[in-house]
Amino acid sequence: MRKRYNLNHRYRPSFRSFSKLNALQKKRLSRLHLQMFIQLSLFLVIGVCLMASYQMLFFPRIMLEGDRVLEVEYQDKYSEPGYISSYRGKDISSKVKVTGKVDTSKVGEYPVVYQVFYEGKVITKTRIVKVVDSKGPSIEFTGNKKKLYICPNQKYLYDDYKATDNYDGDITSSVEVVEKNGKMRYQVKDSFGNQTEVFRDVFYEDVEGPSLTLDSGNTVMVTKGDSFQNSTYQVEDNCGGDVDVSISGDVDMSQVGEYEKIYKAVDKAGNATEVKQKVVVMEPVKKGVIYLTFDDGPRSGTTDVILNVLKEKGVHATFFVTSGGPDDLIKRMYDEGHSIGLHTASHDYSVVYGSIDSYFNDLKIVSDRVEKITGEKSMLIRFPGGSSNTISKKYTPGIMSYLTREVVSRGYRYYDWNIDSHDAEGGKYDADEISEFVISNLSYDKVNMVLMHDVKVATKDAVGKIIDYGLANGYSFEAIGPYTDMVVQRVNN
C-alpha cells in the first residue's frame, strides 16, 4: 500500500505537468484510477444493498404487477394490474390504499399512488397510466368500397364517404381526395397524427339502375267488379336522362285472387330496375252476413264446446289464436272448416307493442305454431286490442299507424270488428246479455263482424242463441276467407 500510495503521489501531476508524462507513466496512472473507481463502485453497491436489506427488514414492501408506466387506449376500460405488499414475510396487501383516478375519456397522464402504513412505517409507490389515442380514423363509403363509378361527363361530388374518429368525431371535412392512375386515394389524419388511407378503383361508367317507387305500395287490394288502374310511380336515374318504364301482368277483376304486375324501368345505359306488385282482388262487401270471430283461444272446456255448437248448427267461424291452449283444438278447427287467424303469441301488450320488431317476432311465434299444426300459413290477423287501440301508445307512439300499413305490405290482412259482444268484460254479463248485445246490433245493410272470446264460459252458452236468431231471420254465417274484404277501425296511434 505504501508503494501504491507513493506511486499515486508521484504520478499525480498538475494539469500543466500531465502532458509531460511519458506513455508508461500515463498507463500506470490510468490503472490506478480504474482500481480506485472499482473500489468506490463496490462500496456504493454494498451500501445500496445494505440500505435495501434494511428496508426489507424494517419497512413494508410494495411490488407492482405489470409495468410502472402503462398505456391505455382512449375510451378503453382501465383494469388495475394489481400489487403485492409484505412485511417480514407477512402479506399485508389488504392494507394498501390506492388513490388516483384514470379517466379514459380524456387523453393524458394519470398517477396511481399505492401506499401502505404498517407498524408506524409508511411506504409509497406510484404508477403512471397514460391514456393515449393510437387508433386511426375510419373511412366508410355509402356505395362500393373497392370501386368508384362516376357518371360519364360528370364530376365527382365527394358525397359518398364519411370519416369518423374515436376522439375527434366527424372529420369528413379533413379528408384529402386525390385521383391518380385510375385510383382514388382518400387520406385523413386525426388530431394525434393517426392516419388512415384508402384506395378505390375509378371507372367513368353508369352501372346503377334507376330508382322506381310505386305510389300505391307493393301490395294493393281491390274489390271484385271494380275497374283496375295501374299504379302511378316515381322514377329517377342517378346519371340523369330519360328512363323508359314498361308495365306487364294482367289482373282479372271478375275473379277473386292474387295477381302480379311488373313495373320495369330502363335507363340509357341499359341498367334496369324491376318492381313487382301484388294485386289482391277481394270479395265485395257481403251485407247481411255474420262473421263470428273468437279471440284468445284455444282453451279446453270452452273452445271445444263452441266447436260442438258450430258443428251442430252447420256454421263456420273464425278463430284468432294465441300460443296457449292445446294443439289438438287448433287441428280440430282446421279439420272442421273454420278459419284460423293470428292474434298474438304472448298477449302481453308491452311485448307486442314494444317495437316494430317485437310485434313481428311475436307474430312469427304464433304463425309458426299454426303452420306446424295445420300445414298452412295463415295470413289473417287481429291486433290485440284492435287497430284502434291506444294502449300501444304507452309503449311505442305511432306504432299502429305503421303496423296497419306494414302488415298489408307483407301480404297479411287484418280484421277488426263492428259488433262487440262484451263477453271479455270480466264476467260482467251472462250468456243472455251477451247474445242480446250481438243480436241487437245485427243489420242486413252491413257486414256483421262480431267480436267474441272462446276462452269465456258465458260465451259458449251465448253462441247457440246468436246462431239460432241469425238463421231464423235470414242472415247467413261465414268464416273469414283468403279474400274477405277487411273490416277495420280508425287508427288512433
Per-residue pLDDT at 4: 47
Taking the CA atoms of residue 72, residue 75, residue 81 and residue 83 in that order, the dihedral angle to the nearest 10 degrees is 100
More confident residue, 448 or 121: 448
Checking if the pLDDT of 173 tops 70, the result is yes
| Residue 321 · residue 341 · CB < 8 Å | yes
Q: What are the pLDDT digits (tens) for 374-384?
A: 999 999 999 99
| Element housing 277 (H / E) | strand 272-282
Give the residue carrying C-alpha cell 328512363: 243
Q: Which residue has the higher pLDDT, 483 or 24?
A: 483
| Other Cβ atoms closer than 10 A to 176 | 10
Q: Quick one: pLDDT at residue 51?
A: 57
310 or 34, which is more confident:
310
pLDDT number for residue 42 = 78
141 band by pLDDT with thresholds 50, 70 and 90: very high
Contact 264, 246 (CB under 8 A): yes
Check residue 351 and give its pLDDT: 96
Asked if residue 231 has pLDDT above 90, the reply is: yes
pLDDT reported for residue 279? 94
pLDDT surpassing 50 at residue 3: no
Cα separation, 405 vs 409, whole angstroms = 6
CB within 8 A of 296, min separation 6: which ones?
Answer: 320, 322, 324, 343, 347, 424, 453, 454, 455
Q: What is the pLDDT of residue 102?
A: 96
* Average of per-residue pLDDT values in the chain: 91
Look at residue 8 and tell me whether its pLDDT is greater than 70: no
Query: Does pLDDT of 7 surpass 90?
Result: no
Closest CA to 282 of 222, 330, 210, 358: 222
Distance from C-alpha of 468 to C-alpha of 37, rounded to nearest angstrom: 122
The per-residue pLDDT for range 31-54, each reduced to its tens digit, is 777 777 787 777 787 766 655 555
Specify the range with the lowest mean pLDDT, choosing from 28-32, 207-211, 389-393, 431-435. Answer: 28-32
Among 425, 467, 461, 453, CA closest to 299? 453
Give me the pLDDT at residue 49, please. Answer: 60
Instruction: Identify whether 298 is preceded by a cis peptide bond (ω within 30 of 0).
Output: yes
Query: What pLDDT, on a 0 to 100 scale, did the predictor assign at position 160?
Result: 95
pLDDT attached to residue 57: 54
Q: Structural domains in the chain?
A: 2-58 (no CATH), 61-132 (2.60.40.10), 138-203 (2.60.40.10), 211-282 (2.60.40.10), 289-477 (3.20.20.370)
Neighbours of 57 (CB within 10 A): 9
Going by pLDDT thresholds of 50, 70 and 90, the confidence category of residue 347 is very high
